[in-house]
Amino acid sequence: MKFDKAAGENTLFDNAEVVGRPTHRVDGPLKVTGTAPYAYERHDVAEGQLYGYPLGSAIGHGRIVSMDAEAARNSPGVRAVVTTLEIDPLEKGMNNVARLFGGAEVQHYHQAIAVVVADSFEQARAAASLIEVEYEKGDPEDYDLGAAFERLQGSGEMDTDTGDVESALSGAAVMLDEMYHTPSHSHMAMEPHASVVDWSDGDRMTVWTSNQMINWNHGSLATTFGLDKEKIRVESPYIGGGFGGKLWLRADAVLAALGSRAAGAPVKVALPRPMIMNNTTHRSETVQRIRMAAGEDGKLTGIWHEAASHTLPDGRGENATAQTPYFYASEAIRTKHHTVSMSLPESADMRAPGEASGLMALEIAMDEMAEKLGMDPVAFRKLNDTQVNPSNPDQRFSDRHFVECLERGAATFGWADRNTAPGATRDGQWLIGHGVAGAYRGALVLPSGARALLEGGKLVVETDMTDIGTGSYTILAQTAAETMGLTLDDIEMRMGNSAFPVSSGSGGQFGAASSSAGVYAACMALRARIAEELGVEEPEFREGRVIAGNTNRALSELEGEIDAVDSIEWGDFQDEYQMATFGAHFVEVGVHAGTGETRVRRMLAVCDSGRILNPVTARSQVIGGMTMAVGAALSEDMALDSGRGMFANHDLAGYEVAVHADIPEQEVIFLDTLDPVASPLKAKGVGELGVCGVAAAVANAVYNATGVRVRDYPVTLDKLIGGLPPLG
């Protein structure tokens, strides 16, 4: 199906009975009973599984001179040891920047350099510790991103350069020029990267893994091992969190494959928690400079946002300027992202790559500008809203209700009642503050396919789409039920398997809109097949029946299997529009006047992201994003050891994500918007919008509470206590 014009009157979804209804996730019972089969627990899929345990490099970069695995090979229960020196450097799969295995070169700390395969997990782990490695360390490197930014700023061709920014800044009535910093962030999914691989015969390979993008993974495995894709099957039906950390092929699957071939048996490998920080990818640290100019009337006249992030050579880093060309109206906008090559673990995508970091800075800057102007920060943002792309004014937003998000949020939160004087509201020893921030995240879509098979009134839908905890099983079942006039009980979703039609996969907030459109396309193709078989024109499908003219048949009465495969293809007309999602976040914090401890007291998000396919799972996505952003605001920090070129904290005790006690009342409001340009369902994603802007709302609330402006995340107490007012 080609989506080649905006969705018009749409009786199917505009009058939906299943789509859009609050629906608990259909896979919920499997999850709460612990029976959803996650990768490492696929004990049943292959006989005689062995355990692989990885060894990571002990240096940040350099070369391996020698490896002695003799003791490991002779250790009890060990079936095979594969060291990186025995293997030619493996080809890199799609979007992999660091090499996953093979050869003597070490590009980053904890890069996989060996796998030990044994009868038991404990045997493999013990043996791995016996491998002796001699290294030659690389030359010392400079890991100071701030210094790199100083060197690079202003250089190179700007990414966006609209209007005359320099004039706007030089003649401005009100002007801001500040530096901001966000540290590196780890995805830290609850489920570590894990795979079971059967490549026993060195020919056909089956991979049971935890991966967001089946087709990319499939292709990367083929590239890495020089196999035909037809010889590889990938399954990833349940994923215990991805957040972008499982978009690409990672070392768990590569090591399990090599171990399987060496041992002649299926092998499972999970990356140990202490290897997650340095072996897998992360969101890069950013250094950002924002300059803004505005007139006395509060209208922005210039924005110059320049940023740097680290990456291994040829990587993309974290482009913190991603939202700046689009979010606020300004005649002059200049942005530039500098990538700085550093021998650190691979930086790559993490939930809302670009915008998450960029809005952490931009939305503090907006708060600061509002204060300089003497304006309310909600009013200031409303004033600078735009319905066209500011860096390309001929391009309209397909559907944008940012102002409504701010207004609805302010009214619901009680924003008008806040004390605008920083440091002036107390509750015992706690200083109370309120903050607001805007949220922006693009609404990318990708082609997505599915197969729909009807038999005996039951519909099976197959697609390689994944559910990373987002609710894909549920929203796709809802979409199929709606399209076929069936109930949820009639639908069986089969997902996350490379044997099924290629979907968008899960990432970049494109999954929900893309894959629901793909399932819709497949179901519409099935409807056409059924109509053809019955010899009727444009039948209706409702209440389990197909109805056209004199024909009125129960789908359960149709003979045999009827199936159809189709995918959604996206038309060029979407390029005429800027498609994005919008939100406003309101936060109340308490900051202890003595210790500087910050505790969030309440949070509100208002989201404009098109049709909400399922308010239950969408809300879960948004509050999950808000929770992640509380961590980013207050505690998450991959602690860089700049002498060693590695991240020193290594587990969930040292890398502090928000815990239950950190998360108070969270409210989410979805505006009842429809975006006819975005998809046939008029839907857009929401899973990344929820993380955007929230951290800045927290930081702005801390400023309102204390009068201390922190531009360096996380906003920890050591950055506050020097400036706190005296104890009352």
Partner 1 sequence: MRAFSYEKVSDPAQAAARAAEVEGAKFLAGGTNLLDLMKLEIERPAHVIDVNGLGLDEITETDEGGLRIGALVTNTALSADARIRRDYPVLTRAIAAGASGQLRNKATTGGNLLQRTRCPYFYDTAQPCNKRAPGSGCAALSEGAFSRQLGVIGTSDACIATHPSDMAVGMRVLDAMVETVTPEGMTRTIPLEEFHLLPGDTPEQESALMPGELITAVTLPAPVGGEQKYHKVRDRASYAFALVSVALIRQPDGTGRVALGGVAPKPWRSAAADAELPNGAAAVMAELLGGARPTEENAFKITLAERTLAAMLAEE
Binding site for partner 1 (CB under 8 A): 56, 58, 76, 122, 125-126, 129, 143, 274, 428-429, 592-597, 599, 634-635, 639-644, 648-651, 653-654, 656, 658-662, 714, 716-718, 721-722, 724, 727-728
Distance CA 407, CA 199 (A): 57
318, 482, 636, 688: the catalytic one is: 688
Listing DSSP states for 269-282 in one string gives EE--HHHHHHHS-B
Report, in Å, the least distance between residue 162 CB and partner 1.
40
Nearer to partner 1, 50 or 205 (CB): 50
Supply the minimum distance, in Å, between the C-beta of residue 434 and partner 1.
19
Considering only CA atoms, which of 183, 60, 222, 202 is closest in space to residue 719?
Answer: 183
* Nearest-approach distance from CB 93 to partner 1, in angstroms: 27
Query: Which CB sits closer to partner 1, 204 or 644?
Result: 644
Respond yes or no: is residue 688 known to be catalytic: yes
CB 189 within 8 A of CB 212: no
Shortest separation between residue 633's beta carbon and partner 1, angstroms: 11
Indicate the residue among 368 and 637 with the shorter CB distance to partner 1.
637
Nearest-approach distance from CB 652 to partner 1, in angstroms: 9
CB 2, min distance to partner 1, A: 49
Q: Could you give the CA distance from residue 532 to residue 558 in angstroms, rounded to a whole number?
A: 13
Nearer to partner 1, 129 or 167 (CB): 129
CB of residue 270 to partner 1, shortest distance in Å: 13
What beta strand segments (E) does 84-131 contain?
105-106, 112-118
C-beta closer to partner 1: residue 158 or 717 = 717
**Count helices and strands in the chain by DSSP H and E runs:** 16, 33
Give residue 639's Cα distance to chain centre.
21
- Structural contact between residues 194 and 279, judged by C-beta atoms closer than 8 angstroms: no
Sequence letter at residue 141:
E
In the complex with partner 1, the residue whose CB is nearer, 421 or 653, is 653
Torsion 520-525-527-528 (CA) sign: positive
H-helix or E-strand spanning residue 426: strand 426-427
Secondary structure (3-state) at 621? helix
- Whether 7 and 680 have beta carbons less than 8 Å apart is answered as yes
In this complex, which beta carbon is closest to partner 1, that of residue 545 or of residue 650?
650
Nearest alpha-carbon partner for 423 in 590, 229, 289: 590
User: Alpha carbon of 714 to those of 35, 350, 360: distances in Å?
Assistant: 37, 17, 10
CB 366 within 8 A of CB 380: yes
| CA proximity to 463, closest of 471, 473, 455, 454 | 473
Nearer to partner 1, 544 or 654 (CB): 654
Least distance from C-beta 662 to partner 1, angstroms? 5
Instruction: Please say which residue, 362 or 600, places its beta carbon nearer to partner 1.
Output: 600
Helix axes 355-373, 694-706, angle to 10 degrees: 40
Structure tokens at 212: 């967001």
The span from the CA of 614 to the CA of 362, in Å, is 31
**111 vs 97: CA distance, rounded Å:** 12
Q: Please check whether residue 236 is in contact with residue 466, taking contact to mean a CB–CB distance below 8 angstroms.
A: yes
State the maximum Cα–Cα separation within the chain, in Å, rounded to a whole number.
Answer: 83
Find where tokens 């914090």 sit: 589
Q: What's the rounded Cα separation, in Å, for the pair 178 and 342? A: 25
**Least distance from partner 1 to the Cβ atom of residue 120, Å:** 11
Which lies closer to partner 1 via its Cβ, residue 66 or residue 595?
Answer: 595
Distance in Å, CB of 717 to partner 1, minimum = 7
Bin 590: left if φ > 0, else alpha if -120 < ψ < 50, else beta: beta
Beta carbons of 699 and 629 less than 8 angstroms apart: no
For the record, the structure tokens of 543 come out as 């209440």
**Cβ-based neighbour number of residue 557 at 10 Å:** 11
- Residues identified as active-site: 688
